[in-house]
Structure 1
């Protein structure tokens, strides 16, 4: 008999954020997406006719906060809060949430949160298998909204103090987060750090030397710290 799947409901008023959750849930064999809702009111109506085991719940939504929504449920299912605002973390844990995911959510962090839920249920921590080992896109907050960026479109990423600039084939986006946080979201076989301020897509490299990498007419510096890793990643026949 196969293990019973954990039925999940994803609730978020931002469509790109919902897309990320749908992709992550569908890639895991032990989870099943029962439905999605764009706000807490829709979620209340959904739960009147359907039961779920786990809710991925945004907190800051119009009309009713996710935290207030949970308080309306007599016997709420397990909850993993998802939000772009750290200030709600304490309140989320006071409501006995299984975990609290800060957007943009990496698959590794998502996996850790789900494993925590399963471990509570069974006493055993499972290593979930997923069908797509690398994500097709990431979502970042820019211009007061979540923006979906396909990995194949990214040329490079540059750190600018408290912000990072993601340069794609079509445009450049600024988002307030660290370059290390974004690095964790990216597949290691496609993206590589070449400098403390730069991550590049290996697919987009046009030429390189020991000190510079050229991508779409942009010359980016290779620091000594990362030079050996860059050499190995590019399969250079000679020393960079």
Structure 2
């Protein structure tokens, strides 16, 4: 079954590039193109759409405000030339955030998050938290409070804005429960909340005065997310 896509962007060139990219990917199908959010809203509220490629800065209604009006089950990939909206887009549970101009490879990485089947461990569409097991108790951790996860020999440390939780689980397991639009693995021993990164270099990111190393394996994918 094809994934029905809508493109919402006030720039004709941007719509042309997205349409070409979509047409080059099996199972993706453009069913609507709109040059502003109000035009798109009328179509999307009356037709079935699986995925929206959504610009942010548009006349009359911004992409961020538009995203708050549509069905929460509809996936959104923001496409914008402005990196400053990234944090707000993550709070809207966007699938990904593409910073213009983006390559086809980066586009493909974003749409694969929609095309791949959802793991049973991944949070529900409207979830903003997970539960982790600490000393036989299930502790609620908000995604917005989670700073980073540190992998140890046979357990992990979940660092939040308020505390550090020791959880006997593998790093490779917990990442399946975190939204890929908000969290990224940057090292064999670290997963970070992208919105909490204060600064970064080629070698590390800084979160609350902690320097967390970036390995060469994950460097390119991290820099793509950071733009």
Shift of 1:121: 3.7
Residue 85 of structure 1 pairs with residue 82 of structure 2: yes
**Is the alpha carbon distance of 1:41 and 1:66 closer, same or farther for their aligned partners in structure 2, counting shifts above 3 Å?**
same
Residue 41 (structure 1) aligns with:
38
Q: Deviating runs (4+, > 3 A) in structure 1?
A: 120-123
Q: Point out where structure 2 has 5 or more consecutive residues left out of the alignment.
A: 121-219, 221-227
Shift of 1:76: 4.7
Residue 214 (structure 1) aligns with:
none
Residue 114 (structure 1) aligns with:
111
Residue 69 of structure 1 pairs with residue 66 of structure 2: yes
Contact 2:9 2:34 in 1 (8 A): yes
Q: Point out where structure 1 has 5 or more consecutive residues left out of the alignment.
A: 124-180, 182-240
Q: Could you state the TM-score of these two structures normalised by the residue count of structure 2?
A: 0.51
Contact 2:53 2:78 in 1 (8 A): yes
What per-residue deviation string (whole Å, max 9, x for no partner) do you get for residues 112-163 of structure 1? 000112235478xxxxxxxxxxxxxxxxxxxxxxxxxxxxxxxxxxxxxxxx
Q: Could you state the TM-score of these two structures normalised by the residue count of structure 1?
A: 0.48
Question: Which structure 2 residues correspond to residues 152-191 of structure 1 after superposition, within 5 A?
Answer: none
**Is the alpha carbon distance of 1:120 and 1:94 closer, same or farther for their aligned partners in structure 2, counting shifts above 3 Å?**
farther
Residue 102 (structure 1) aligns with:
99
Residue 12 (structure 2) aligns with:
15
Residue 29 of structure 1 pairs with residue 26 of structure 2: yes
Contact 1:70 1:76 in 2 (8 A): no
SS at match of 1:19: helix
CA distance in 2, matches of 1:30, 1:11: 19
CA distance in 1, matches of 2:108, 2:102: 10
Shift of 1:75: 3.2
